[in-house]
């Protein structure tokens, strides 16, 4: 390698332009082939650094989101449900609701696509620069209960509180104890007004009181969740998994 290139790479690394340094040889070749001006060449170096940093940030946000699987909104078959219109679906995709601090509650039977839409919206948010955290209700309760004794749980709660969007999957899948409901309320109260929340549940808010076991806590939680909220009840005759199940016997 040319000593001039090596020296330039070293200088770029000194000022923390590591991605530009790694791509320098290729950028020089490209500059010669395209007869670029010095200004254009400098622009390409800086663009390479910026693009590489943005890519790394995106990858980091995706990893920290802890999605159970990567499912985009483009993969969701809107025709298989009877609730959301194409216009409403696109409106959610635009993320105006997130900019304005709204919450979303997706209700419906298991397998109708609540989690898919939620993850898809989370991915859209990450691609737009937002910090997102996905967690099931069961894992959230465990994390809340163990944060006093577990550094892993404490760090998880910090990331949840520091997120722009928190997705809580399978809320009220089963009854929880009063102390667990109180911990959940404390988290919702902490997120209120600063973090948007997406909730998926197969139980409507009218049933949450029985599962939480405390009418006062239920009212306090709902008061904060539905203050700025769209509740979407997804109707479908069969679940996605039933429609697309793998079979042993052929017709």
Q: Where are the domains of the chain?
A: 3-58, 73-243
Average pLDDT over residues 207-224: 87
* Mean pLDDT lowest among 44-58, 180-194, 233-247: 233-247
pTM for the whole thing? 0.81
Give CATH for domain 73-243.
Answer: 3.40.50.300
Closest CA to 107 of 236, 201, 225, 239: 201
Q: What is the pLDDT of residues 86-100, one digit of tens each?
A: 999 999 999 999 999
User: 203: number of CA atoms within 13 Å, CB side?
Assistant: 15
pLDDT at 241: 46
Average pLDDT over residues 1-16: 74
Cα–Cα distance for residue pair 41/39, rounded to 1 Å:
5
* Mean pLDDT lowest among 51-65, 99-113, 119-133, 229-243: 229-243
pLDDT: is 108 or 238 the higher one? 108
Q: What is the pLDDT of residues 120-161, one digit of tens each?
A: 999 999 999 999 999 999 999 999 999 999 999 999 999 999
pLDDT at 177: 87
Q: What percent of the chain has pLDDT over 70?
A: 92
Give me the chain's average pLDDT, please: 87
Contact status, residue 144 vs residue 180, Cβ threshold 8 Å: yes
Given the structure tokens 């419906």, which residue do they identify?
108
- Tell me: pLDDT of 240 over 50: no
Cβ neighbour number for residue 138 with a 10 Å cutoff: 13
Q: What is the pLDDT of residues 216-232, one digit of tens each?
A: 899 999 999 998 999 99
């Amino acid at each position: 390698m040319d000593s001039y290139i090596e020296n330039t790479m070293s200088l770029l690394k000194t000022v923390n332009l590591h991605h530009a340094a790694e791509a320098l040889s290729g950028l020089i070749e490209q500059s010669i082939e395209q007869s670029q001006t010095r200004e254009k060449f400098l622009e390409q170096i800086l663009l390479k650094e910026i693009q590489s940093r943005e890519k790394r940030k995106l990858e980091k946000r995706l990893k920290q989101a802890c999605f159970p699987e990567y499912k985009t909104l483009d993969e969701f078959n809107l025709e298989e449900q009877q609730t959301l219109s194409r216009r409403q679906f696109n409106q959610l995709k635009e993320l105006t609701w997130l900019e304005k601090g709204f919450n979303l509650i997706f209700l419906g039977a298991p397998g109708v696509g609540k989690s898919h839409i939620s993850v898809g919206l989370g991915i859209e948010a990450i691609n737009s620069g937002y910090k997102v955290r996905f967690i099931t209700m069961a894992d959230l309760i465990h994390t809340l209960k163990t944060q006093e004794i577990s550094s892993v749980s404490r760090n998880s709660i910090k990331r949840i509180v520091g997120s722009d969007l928190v997705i809580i999957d399978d809320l009220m899948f089963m009854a929880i104890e009063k102390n667990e409901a109180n911990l959940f309320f404390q988290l919702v109260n902490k997120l209120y007004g600063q973090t948007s929340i997406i909730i998926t549940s197969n139980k409507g808010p009218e049933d949450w009181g029985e599962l939480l076991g405390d009418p006062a806590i239920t009212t306090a939680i709902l008061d904060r969740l539905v203050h700025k909220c769209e509740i979407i009840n997804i109707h479908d005759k069969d679940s996605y998994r039933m429609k697309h199940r793998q079979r042993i016997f052929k017709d």
